[in-house]
A and B are shown apart, each in its own frame.
Chain A
Amino acid sequence: MSDSDDNIIRETATKIFGDLCEPRLINDAEQGIWPTELWDTLEESGLTLTWVPDNMGGAGAEMADGFTVLKVAGKFAAPVPVAETMFAGLLLARAGIKSPLGPMTVAPTHPAARITIGADGTLQGSARDIPFARQAKHIAVLARRDNQPVIALVDRAACHVTEKNGISGEARDTVSFNNIKPLAVANAPAGHDEDGICAIGATIRCLQMAGAMQKILDQSVQYAQERVQFGRPIGKFQAVQHNLAQLAGEVAAAGVAADAAAHALTLAGPDNEDTIAVIATGKIRVGEAATTGSLIAHQAHGAMGFTYEHSLHQATRRLWSWREEFGNESLWSIRLGRIVAARGADELWPFLSS
Chain B
Amino acid sequence: MSTNFQFDLVTETPALRELRAEVRGFLMDEINAGTFSPNGGEKRGFNKEFSRRVGARGWIGMAWPKKYGGGDRSHMERYVVTEEMRAYGAPTRGHFTADRQSGPVLIRFAQEHVKQKILPGIISGDLTFCIGLSEPNSGSDVFAASTRATKTDGGWLINGTKIWTSNAHESDYCIALIRTSPATPENRRHGLSQFLVPLKTTKGIDIRPIINLTGSHEFNEVVYDDAFLPDDHLIGEKDMAWRQATAELAFERSGPERWLETFSVLNALVRVSGKNPDDRVAEGIGREIAHMATLRRMSLSVAGMLEAGKLPNDESAIVKDVGTNYEQALPNRVRLLAPSVASPERANDVDFEEVLKFNTLIAPKLTIQGGTREILRGIIARGLGLR
- Asked whether A244 and B386 contact (CB < 8 A) given A337-B283, A338-B282, the answer is yes
Contact status B5-A337, CB under 8 Å = no
Q: How far is the CA of A274 from the CA of B204 in the complex (A)?
A: 59
Q: How far is the CA of A224 from the CA of B24 in the complex (A)?
A: 48
Number of interface residues of A (CB under 8 A): 54
Q: How far is the CA of A189 from the CA of B286 in the complex (A)?
A: 28
- Asked whether A330 and B283 contact (CB < 8 A) given A241-B387, A252-B298, the answer is yes
Looking at the complex, which of B172-180, B232-240, B273-281 is the stretch in contact with chain A? B273-281
Counting chain A CB atoms within 10 Å of each CB, the highest count among B88, B322, B381 belongs to B381
What 1/0 mask marks residues of chain A from 320 to 354 whose CB sits below 8 Å from any chain B CB? 00000000011011111111111011001110110
Contact status A221-B270, CB under 8 Å = no
Does chain B have a CB within 8 A of A217? yes
- Asked whether A341 and B285 contact (CB < 8 A) given A214-B3, A217-B3, A249-B322, the answer is yes
Pick the residue among A255, A263, A333 that contacts B286 (CB under 8 A). Answer: A333
Contact status B276-A342, CB under 8 Å = yes
Does chain B have a CB within 8 A of A93? no
- Nearest Cβ in chain B — how far from A301, in angstroms? 15
Does chain A have a CB within 8 A of B48? no
Contact status A334-B298, CB under 8 Å = no
- List, in ascending order, chain B residues with CB within 8 A of A334's CB: 279, 282-283, 286
Contact status A280-B286, CB under 8 Å = yes
Pick the residue among A252, A259, A338, A345 that contacts B322 (CB under 8 A). Answer: A252
Contact status B273-A341, CB under 8 Å = yes
Q: How far is the CA of A252 from the CA of B322 in the complex (A)?
A: 9
Contact status B88-A349, CB under 8 Å = yes
What 1/0 mask marks residues of chain B from 172 to 204 whose CB sits below 8 Å from any chain A CB? 000000000000000000000000000000000
- Asked whether A242 and B381 contact (CB < 8 A) given A332-B286, A334-B286, A345-B270, the answer is yes
Q: How far is the CA of A108 from the CA of B167 in the complex (A)?
A: 59
| Cβ < 8 Å to B, chain A residues 223-268 | 224-225, 235-236, 238, 240-242, 244-246, 248-253, 255-257, 259-260, 263
Main secondary structure of the interface of B (DSSP, over half): helix
Looking at the complex, which of B69-77, B99-107, B372-380 is the stretch in contact with chain A? B372-380
Q: How far is the CA of A257 from the CA of B322 in the complex (A)?
A: 14
Q: How far is the CA of A278 from the CA of B290 in the complex (A)?
A: 8
Counting chain B CB atoms within 10 Å of each CB, the highest count among A238, A245, A256, A334 belongs to A245
Q: How far is the CA of A245 from the CA of B138 in the complex (A)?
A: 24
Pick the residue among B84, B270, B297 that contacts A340 (CB under 8 A). Answer: B270
- List, in ascending order, chain B residues with CB within 8 A of A349's CB: 87-88, 263, 267
- Nearest Cβ in chain A — how far from B362, in angstroms? 19
B interface residues, Cβ below 8 angstroms from A: 3-5, 7-9, 11, 20, 24, 83-84, 87-88, 263, 266-268, 270-271, 273-277, 279, 281-287, 289-298, 301, 315, 318, 321-322, 374, 376-378, 380-381, 383-387
For the complex of A and B, the 4 pairs showing the least CB-CB separation, nearest first, are A337-B286, A337-B282, A333-B286, A336-B286
Give 10 pairs: A residue, B residue, CB < 8 Å, sorted on A. Answer: A235-B386, A245-B321, A252-B318, A260-B297, A278-B293, A333-B282, A336-B287, A338-B277, A349-B267, A353-B20
